[in-house]
Amino acid sequence: MKLGVLFSGGKDSVFACRRAMEKNEVACLITLVSENEDSYMFHTPNIRCTGLQAKALGLSLLSWPTRGKKEEELQDLEAAIAEAIKRYGIQGVVTGAIESVYQAARVQRICRFLDLWCFNPLWQINQVSYLRLLLLEGFNVIVSGVYAYPFDASWLGARLTDERVEKLAELQKKYQINPSGEGGELETFVLDGPIFKKRMEILKASRSYDGYRGQFVIEEMRLVDK
């Protein structure tokens, strides 16, 4: 089956892509580039870097603009998926949703309307076990944004490690956060992994942080042979 992966460049969409590749053909990645940093539906930190990620993965990318207005952005998502059907002949859509009923239900509704299969390989996965699996399988993941207490500026640009995963597990017990960031607490960006044909190297980046909200902005990257 030919699939299109809703792709943000973060760990969940990258890992969902890996799962989709195990038994199906990933025909394209679909990225919604939102003007609204606080989009209800779409990941925004470093979203414009997905073009280089697609090259590193050796996959086609359909990049689609959206103003990011609540509910209206779903029309843009539907238009993007419809275009992916036209260009790449996709028969299904892959998401990295773990617990967000808001996002999953809306994507499923669009898929039903377009007569597509909707594949959510990470749905209801144990989040801490999942983070450990990412490391075990060799994914290089960095934190690209934090949006909740008690995350401080030291998390920005930090690589996901065993120690970081254990810290997230502790924060889950103490503050009831989602350790994978499914509640919007943090966002990530993937630089390398087993499905990447090349890895990415950050050459220039900047950080901004205020009031438990911050972003690690990648300004310049390059592809490197593995």
State whether 108 and 182 are in the same domain. Answer: no
Res 68: pLDDT: 67
Question: How large is the average pLDDT for residues 58-85?
Answer: 90
* Encoded tokens for 19: 């799962």
Res 40: pLDDT: 58
State whether 158 and 93 are in the same domain. Answer: no
State whether 18 and 114 are in the same domain. Answer: yes
User: Within a domain: residue 12?
Assistant: yes
State whether 173 and 215 are in the same domain. Answer: yes
Q: How far is CA 87 from CA 32, 62, 76, 80, in A?
A: 16, 9, 16, 10
User: Within a domain: residue 25?
Assistant: yes
Q: What is the 3-state secondary structure (H, E, C) of 113-182?
A: HCCCEEECCCCCCCHHHHHHHHHHCCCEEEEEEECCCCCCHHHCCCECCHHHHHHHHHHHHHHCCCCCCC
Question: How large is the average pLDDT for residues 32-43?
Answer: 72
Quote the domain boundaries for residue 213. 139-225
State whether 87 and 18 are in the same domain. Answer: yes
User: Within a domain: residue 148?
Assistant: yes
Domain closes at, from 119, 149, 172: 119
pLDDT for 154-163, tens place per residue?
999 999 999 9
- Round to whole Å and give the CA distance between 179 and 98: 11
State whether 60 and 153 are in the same domain. Answer: no
Structure confidence at residue 197 as a pLDDT band (50, 70, 90): very high
Domain closes at, from 85, 119, 153: 119
Is 80 exceeded by the pLDDT of residue 37? no
Is 90 exceeded by the pLDDT of residue 29? yes
Mean of all residue pLDDT scores within the chain: 94
Residue 53: CB atoms within 10 Å: 26
User: Within a domain: residue 125?
Assistant: no
Is 90 exceeded by the pLDDT of residue 94? yes
What is the number of domains present in the chain? 2
Structure confidence at residue 43 as a pLDDT band (50, 70, 90): low
* H or E segment to which residue 196 belongs: none
Q: What percent of the chain has a predicted confidence (pLDDT) above 70? A: 97
0.85 exceeded by pTM: yes
Is 90 exceeded by the pLDDT of residue 96? yes
Question: How large is the average pLDDT for residues 138-157?
Answer: 96
**Helices H / strands E in the chain, number of each:** 6, 9
Res 41: pLDDT: 61
Q: For residue 188, with 0-12 CB atoms within 10 Å meaning exposed, 13-18 middle and 19 or more buried, which class applies?
A: buried
Question: How large is the average pLDDT for residues 174-185?
Answer: 93
State whether 62 and 162 are in the same domain. Answer: no
